[in-house]
Chain A
Amino acid sequence: MHPSAAHAISWSGVQRSSAASICLCPPAERVACSGGATGGQPRVHSLWGPPQQRRDVNGGANRFPTRRQVPPPKGCVCDALPKETGMKSLSVRGKEEGCQGGGGGGRRRLLLLSRGSGASWTTSGPSSSRTAESWANHCCRTLLTVRAASTATDVAEAATEYEAVIGLETHVQLAAKTKAFCSCPSEFGAEPNSNVCPVCMGLPGTLPVLNEKVLELAVRTSLALGCNIARTSKFDRKQYFYPDLPKGYQISQFDEPLATGGHVDIDLPVESGGGHCRVGITRAHVEEDAGKIVYAGADRLSGSEYTQVDLNRAGIPVLEIVSEPDMRTGLQAAEYASEVQRIVRYIGVSNGNMQEGSMRCDVNVSVRPKGRAKLGTKVEIKNMNSFSAIQKAIDFEIVRQVELLKEGKGDDICQETRLWDEGNQQTIAMRSKEGLADYRYFPEPDLREVVLAEEYIDRVRQTVPELPHEKRRRYEAAGLSMKDVLVLANDVDVAEYFEAVLACGTDVKSAANWIMGDVTAFLKANKMTVRDMKMLPSSLAELISLIEDKTISGKIGKEILPELLTTGTAPRKIVEAKGLLQISDPAALEAIIDEVLAANPKQLQDYRQGKTKLQGFFTGQVMKKSGGKANPVLMNEILVRKLNSG
């Protein structure tokens, strides 16, 4: 009746591969549908009936909260694609590259836009979609006088009369093994469109099933942020058209978010004056990520010939954390973001990697004359992939807005979304808020409400470890300087290691010095992390105690450290095997010293004639002779005696 499908559907690779590769299973960590569970299990609302039945006559009274609508992440994602995963080229000219991988080879590779028809949409046409680059070009020419990033003096000057009000929206990818609503792996860096299934590709007839792990990670994060967890929350559909959004809507939470009202405590870096501040959290909600757009055919977006979509990221769970507009400087904002990163790493809900896009920040900045209560016009900045970029982007934006205000051009500040252009160190206008999409939120009918039992929340609460700021307070109390505290507590792995060393009875200061000094330097030089190193905390403790009880010299300690770090052998074994024990026997030392003195009669004579500076020479010679093993204190004592006794 129909001509059989003349053109293979884009994901024909899936179709051809074995049946097992098509998995419609719900996420491995899905929420069970069984309703009645009350034993602390989270459950989907158990009432029978259409999911919306609870949005009854009284429901939705506060339908539209005042939260700003966040524009979808569009464009500019291509930078984040690692080069080694470069997407296979698309069949612009009707080729079907990429589909051949779907066969028995076991390697699934398919291109969403690779179609027999050869059609592909492109951004290079005259009425092409907005892209970051085209906006950038447009704006550079029309709106901005191009200039370098603002200097510290600019910022300080701006801050004398004006005050900036800054809020952040942070998207944190949750480290569940599978995506939020299907069973696809949520790993980063896989072959494009290999971690996809009918559900996350938005094929007709597919349904989402909530991954329970996502809920747990989101609740844990929200608890770590000091939020109130909603006992009942629901999912909504946020609707807009974009090729990276397979269903035409994003499953998000709108008016009943999972968490509200928390805070983050920040310690500002000592170099910039230090101090503490607290940033409020307005809300945190769970949503799914969109796919990734890749502009191909050229190195730069502007010359790209065609566009590809990689849906590996589509459906990956994300927690959006919205801060209160409590920050006043770029530094505070950057520190807030890095504290959020620290928290999510501490509690193990995300790797918080900004380069991979596991954590993304959108910043809202407005500027007002000091002392005025009314807020200025808010500008949103996107596309910053490091904390320093956040700080620079905000500082640039503050200076830009203050200058406009000073010039009496306050009206030129319009509510818009701007992009941080890392290359030119400036923000550029992307789109005006006037053309803001209406997301037409409504409750997601394919998912039930999420009802969390008290016991469940309590159970998750128990999995929240000591948080960074709590750790910092504890280290401070232990007598470490704020600078050391900030370094040690910065990385949860480092902190754990540090504490494990302390647990072996090592002195706080020496443990801190070793870890922050030689260990860190070695790791940095060898591009390793604390997790990569083989040296057990007990080994470091042993090394320190060997030095302290003068079994070996500090010098020997530093020398054998690389071996310890890379092999994990116990320090005493290395020391013994290599005969590196410190020579503390006076007789042995005397013998060495005598030899040195005998070998250097001229220098000895000079010394005795008053050139006492030569003592250092002799020390060095003795150390050399002893292979660095001489106990420096004892050796010096004998050396001085012998030098002066002649």
Chain B
Amino acid sequence: MAAIAARGSVAPGTHHRLMHDISTCCTGQEVHFRRSPGVSRLPILAVCRRLCTLCSKMTPFRAVIPSASATFRNPCKACNWHGRASPSTQFSKSRDPEAISFPGFLAIRPGGKQHQKGAHSSATFSSTASMALSVAAAASATSLLCSIAVSQRQGWGHLGSFSSTGLIPLPRRLTSDCRRSSQLHVVRNVTTVKSSVATKPAGAIRKIQRMLESRERSAVEITEEYLSRVGALEPSLHSFLHVASDDEMLTQAAALDRHLAEGKELAALGPLAGVPTGVKDNICTKGMPTTAGSKILEGYRPPYDASVVKRIKDAGALVVGKTNLDEFGMGSSTENSAYFRTANPWDLSRVPGGSSGGSAAAVAANQCVAALGSDTGGSIRLPASFCGLVGLKPTYGRVSRLGLIGYASSLDTIGVLAQSVEDAAIMMGVISGQDICDSTSSHSEVPDYTAGLEPLDSFSSKPLKGVRLGIIKETIGEGDGLEEGVIRGGVDSGVINAIKDAGRHLEELGATLDEVSLPTFALGLPAYYVLATSEASSNLARYDGVRYGLREGGEDNGLAGMYKETRRRGLGPEVKRRILMGTYALSAGYYDAYYKKAQQVRTLVQQDLVRALSIFDALLLPTAPTAAFRLGEKITEPLSMYVGDMMTVNVNLAGLPALVVPCGTVPGGPKGLPVGLQLIGRAFGEGQLLRYGHIFEQTAPVRLGPLPELIPA
């Protein structure tokens, strides 16, 4: 078993020594803390600490990575002093079958003196921050990139209470019921609440199909109804960048009616026959404008349908229009659209979330039954949470990306927003599957996602019996904000309560609910913003005015002038910011410090999530730190906007599926603001997630009320 030599704390003020001491992070990788002039490398994402088995405190250390098979469960010095365990107790899987192998989480044996909470790390990171800033002087992009790094260290400062210390948020012991025998720091939640089961109407897709089948209503009637709602609500919502013409839609609907009249089976017309569907405007639709919310693609009409669009069309869906989004999917509020801002149907003064805000607003306001969205760092889940919808971000590779206008290719996924889990499951079944035109799409079989969605009356008393759920402690922690590791400061207490209530409800349904600590959780955000911007800088290079889209300045200024002018006028400020950051991160001399380091962190984040999911069937956490915020509230503060993605980006980094279901409201707006519960599942475990989500949705004690009146008097 590999030896672990751990270091204790270092007194404040000994930055230099510390920086050299912590030369190896928990992965055994060199952390570039060298300070030689000119080549100072910024270890944006260095993690030089491990979690104590017993008290779950983090301690800086210097360690050799344990071999994969080795498991360490060493309590920290502080705990030893409390006599909770003998020093360097080691267990192996064979000796302790109950122990869960999770080496990435734990492994520590402090060798030094008692650690002074916060102090040492604070010293480390403030000096790191200053390094970051000295590098930052080089370029404008740098400053932002570094700010990301710094913000992570300086503790989400703008989020409030937490972290005057400038620490990476650290986990802390949650209850005294510390299960020493477990490798994971798992805390049994003993609270129980009464479950209150209420009925929930079946999904809208099935409803439409029933009406069509029984000839209760014709497809034309249904389409007209949706079209009229689109027309009525657009002036206040602005969900769509482009709406299909009435003629187009009604012709298709009439054709469907004709087929039915001719005696064709509805099933033969496809699972989405007659379902008005919205498509996010960064998904290519043949002949229909596709702008990705950017001026640079104004009027661009793709010559081909994205694979997902082709699939839903083949399944009989009617494409209502192209929904608004943050330009190229870059944003969390849909305010970065180059055309207009979309309002949240729950409160027109608030954002619908982003970047799939148009899709979310349209579905929430019933302008369409369901909508396709894309999720690169939470762009489906955040709007689903803000608008009280079900949002599913599938596993990377489950759904073809062909025709999705690329933002960050290794993170992008296409998913669905719907009013019910059942609708989402039907949509997912249609759009999933391998596509030979997308090398990254998976060949794994697509299950019937609706199979596990039983009607409410056939539920057993404990429909989730045997399901192990883990609630990610860092995201719902409580405390004074000084506790290590808890992303508490930024998370609204109403949101936390809603998630905790949801957790209790799930327990009522038979699931076991434990807390799980993911020490790398907070590392995802800066890594995400390095990787996503790097890929974006590359993916957006094609908008050069040569072949399509906007072209400016070509007549007089030569090639370079055309490039500059086209991109200057065609791209919005947020897009430019990310291109600059990404270009910087990939530049020679900075690659190792940013891109490579971020990839390493990505691996850590992924490993941690995958390991946690080897124990739990799904992980629970909030979708966003807050409910929908006001339009304009964060638009001038890109960093605070970025921080809103902290609950969602890790899932993209790990490529896992995640489902958001509404779980309650917090005060705000005329009728409260929805909060979404996020469930992270195993790779290709969408079916499982949908089942849990369905059971939760059908039995949830908290029901979202009807939308407020959307048309101002």
* A interface residues (Cβ-Cβ under 8 A, vs B): 1-7, 9-11, 14-15, 22, 24-26, 30-35, 44, 48-53, 55-60, 63-64, 112-113, 115, 117, 119-123, 125-129, 198, 201-210, 237, 239, 241, 243, 246-249, 309, 438, 440-442, 445-448
Q: Contact between A243 and B410 (Cβ–Cβ < 8 Å)?
A: no
Cα–Cα distance between A447 and B410 once the two chains are bound (Å): 10
Q: Which residues of B contact A120 (CB under 8 A)?
A: 554
The 5 closest A-B pairs by CB, nearest first: A248-B541, A445-B410, A445-B409, A5-B299, A440-B586
Sample of 4 further A-B pairs with CB below 8 A, known A204-B542, A246-B546, A445-B535: A49-B606, A198-B302, A441-B586, A445-B440
B592 close to A (CB within 8 Å): yes
Q: Which residues of B contact A205 (CB under 8 A)?
A: 283-284, 290, 302, 306, 402-406
Q: Could you list some 12 contacts between A and B, CB below 8 A?
A: A1-B240, A9-B549, A25-B436, A44-B439, A48-B655, A49-B397, A50-B440, A53-B655, A57-B28, A115-B551, A125-B556, A239-B538
Bitwise interface map of B from 272 to 309 toward A, beta carbon under 8 Å scored 1, else 0 = 00000000000110010111100001111111101000
Min distance, Cβ A427 to any Cβ of chain B, angstroms: 25
Q: Which residues of A contact B441 (CB under 8 A)?
A: 33
A53 contact from B297, B303, B306, B606, Cβ within 8 A: B606
Q: Contact between A1 and B242 (Cβ–Cβ < 8 Å)?
A: yes
Q: Which residues of B contact A56 (CB under 8 A)?
A: 599-600, 603
Q: Contact between B299 and A208 (Cβ–Cβ < 8 Å)?
A: no
Smallest CB-CB separation from A437: which chain B residue?
B588
Chain B count of residues within 8 A CB distance of the other chain: 87
Bitwise interface map of B from 552 to 565 toward A, beta carbon under 8 Å scored 1, else 0 = 00111111111100
A237 contact from B290, B301, B402, B538, Cβ within 8 A: B538
Cα–Cα distance between A34 and B444 once the two chains are bound (Å): 9
Cα–Cα distance between A128 and B557 once the two chains are bound (Å): 7
A210 contact from B243, B290, B439, B541, Cβ within 8 A: B439
Given A63-B591, A209-B436, A440-B588, decide whether A125 and B541 contact each other with a Cβ distance below 8 A: no
Cα–Cα distance between A511 and B301 once the two chains are bound (Å): 64
Min distance, Cβ B21 to any Cβ of chain A, angstroms: 20
B126 close to A (CB within 8 Å): no
Bitwise interface map of B from 432 to 446 toward A, beta carbon under 8 Å scored 1, else 0 = 001011111111100
Q: Which residues of A contact B33 (CB under 8 A)?
A: none
Q: Contact between A126 and B558 (Cβ–Cβ < 8 Å)?
A: yes
B431 close to A (CB within 8 Å): no
Q: Which residues of A contact B684 (CB under 8 A)?
A: 48
Cα–Cα distance between A55 and B592 once the two chains are bound (Å): 13
B194 close to A (CB within 8 Å): no
Q: Which residues of A contact B297 (CB under 8 A)?
A: 204
B547 close to A (CB within 8 Å): yes
Q: Which residues of A contact B588 (CB under 8 A)?
A: 64, 438, 440
Bitwise interface map of B from 365 to 395 toward A, beta carbon under 8 Å scored 1, else 0 = 0000000000000000000000000000001
Min distance, Cβ B436 to any Cβ of chain A, angstroms: 5
Q: Contact between A127 and B558 (Cβ–Cβ < 8 Å)?
A: yes
Min distance, Cβ A126 to any Cβ of chain B, angstroms: 7
Q: Contact between A438 and B655 (Cβ–Cβ < 8 Å)?
A: no
Given A52-B599, A126-B558, decide whether A10 and B401 contact each other with a Cβ distance below 8 A: no
Q: Which residues of A contact B402 (CB under 8 A)?
A: 24, 205-207
Q: Which residues of B contact A30 (CB under 8 A)?
A: 436
Min distance, Cβ A586 to any Cβ of chain B, angstroms: 79
Q: Contact between B602 and A52 (Cβ–Cβ < 8 Å)?
A: yes
B534 close to A (CB within 8 Å): yes
Min distance, Cβ B476 to any Cβ of chain A, angstroms: 27
B587 close to A (CB within 8 Å): yes
A interface secondary structure, majority: loop
Q: Which residues of B contact A126 (CB under 8 A)?
A: 558
Q: Contact between A123 and B559 (Cβ–Cβ < 8 Å)?
A: yes
Smallest CB-CB separation from A204: which chain B residue?
B405
Q: Contact between A10 and B548 (Cβ–Cβ < 8 Å)?
A: yes
B544 close to A (CB within 8 Å): yes
Min distance, Cβ A368 to any Cβ of chain B, angstroms: 28
Min distance, Cβ A416 to any Cβ of chain B, angstroms: 19
Smallest CB-CB separation from B404: which chain A residue?
A205
Min distance, Cβ A43 to any Cβ of chain B, angstroms: 11
Q: Which residues of A contact B559 (CB under 8 A)?
A: 121, 123, 128-129, 243
Min distance, Cβ B369 to any Cβ of chain A, angstroms: 20
Cα–Cα distance between A10 and B438 once the two chains are bound (Å): 25
Min distance, Cβ A460 to any Cβ of chain B, angstroms: 21
Given A59-B599, A440-B586, decide whether A117 and B439 contact each other with a Cβ distance below 8 A: no
Cα–Cα distance between A58 and B599 once the two chains are bound (Å): 10
Smallest CB-CB separation from B27: which chain A residue?
A57
Q: Contact between A119 and B29 (Cβ–Cβ < 8 Å)?
A: no
Cα–Cα distance between A117 and B548 once the two chains are bound (Å): 11
Q: Contact between A34 and B443 (Cβ–Cβ < 8 Å)?
A: yes
Q: Contact between B551 and A117 (Cβ–Cβ < 8 Å)?
A: yes
Smallest CB-CB separation from B441: which chain A residue?
A33
B661 close to A (CB within 8 Å): no
Min distance, Cβ A12 to any Cβ of chain B, angstroms: 9
Min distance, Cβ A336 to any Cβ of chain B, angstroms: 31
Q: Contact between B544 and A51 (Cβ–Cβ < 8 Å)?
A: no
Which of B397, B437, B438: most chain A CB closer than 10 A?
B437
Min distance, Cβ A61 to any Cβ of chain B, angstroms: 9
Min distance, Cβ A214 to any Cβ of chain B, angstroms: 13
Cα–Cα distance between A3 and B541 once the two chains are bound (Å): 26
Q: Which residues of A contact B549 (CB under 8 A)?
A: 9
Which of A24, A129, A239: most chain B CB closer than 10 A?
A24
Q: Contact between A127 and B560 (Cβ–Cβ < 8 Å)?
A: yes
Cα–Cα distance between A24 and B406 once the two chains are bound (Å): 16
B700 close to A (CB within 8 Å): no
A10 contact from B541, B547, B586, Cβ within 8 A: B547
Cα–Cα distance between A203 and B303 once the two chains are bound (Å): 9
Q: Which residues of A contact B102 (CB under 8 A)?
A: none
Given A2-B289, A117-B551, A202-B547, decide whether A448 and B405 contact each other with a Cβ distance below 8 A: no
Cα–Cα distance between A33 and B440 once the two chains are bound (Å): 8
Given A1-B241, A204-B284, decide whether A26 and B436 contact each other with a Cβ distance below 8 A: yes
B250 close to A (CB within 8 Å): no
Min distance, Cβ B584 to any Cβ of chain A, angstroms: 10
Cα–Cα distance between A32 and B587 once the two chains are bound (Å): 34
Q: Which residues of B contact A122 (CB under 8 A)?
A: 554-555, 558
Min distance, Cβ B320 to any Cβ of chain A, angstroms: 12
Cα–Cα distance between A126 and B287 once the two chains are bound (Å): 39
Q: Which residues of B contact A239 (CB under 8 A)?
A: 537-538, 541, 586
Q: Contact between B596 and A60 (Cβ–Cβ < 8 Å)?
A: yes
B558 contact from A15, A33, A119, A123, Cβ within 8 A: A123
Min distance, Cβ A591 to any Cβ of chain B, angstroms: 81
Q: Contact between B436 and A9 (Cβ–Cβ < 8 Å)?
A: no
Q: Contact between A22 and B439 (Cβ–Cβ < 8 Å)?
A: no
Given A5-B301, A51-B440, decide whether A127 and B411 contact each other with a Cβ distance below 8 A: no
Cα–Cα distance between A2 and B440 once the two chains are bound (Å): 33
Q: Contact between A49 and B396 (Cβ–Cβ < 8 Å)?
A: yes
Cα–Cα distance between A15 and B301 once the two chains are bound (Å): 9
Cα–Cα distance between A133 and B586 once the two chains are bound (Å): 33
Which of A35, A52, A112: most chain B CB closer than 10 A?
A52
Smallest CB-CB separation from A16: which chain B residue?
B303
Q: Which residues of B contact A208 (CB under 8 A)?
A: 439
Which of B290, B434, B535: most chain A CB closer than 10 A?
B535
Smallest CB-CB separation from B290: which chain A residue?
A204
B302 contact from A6, A33, A49, A204, Cβ within 8 A: A204
Q: Which residues of B contact A9 (CB under 8 A)?
A: 300-301, 548-549
Min distance, Cβ B127 to any Cβ of chain A, angstroms: 25
B604 close to A (CB within 8 Å): yes
Bitwise interface map of B from 240 to 256 toward A, beta carbon under 8 Å scored 1, else 0 = 11110000000000000
Q: Which residues of B contact A129 (CB under 8 A)?
A: 558-560
Q: Which residues of B contact A5 (CB under 8 A)?
A: 289, 299-301
B226 close to A (CB within 8 Å): no
Min distance, Cβ B518 to any Cβ of chain A, angstroms: 17
Given A63-B596, A125-B557, decide whether A26 and B437 contact each other with a Cβ distance below 8 A: yes
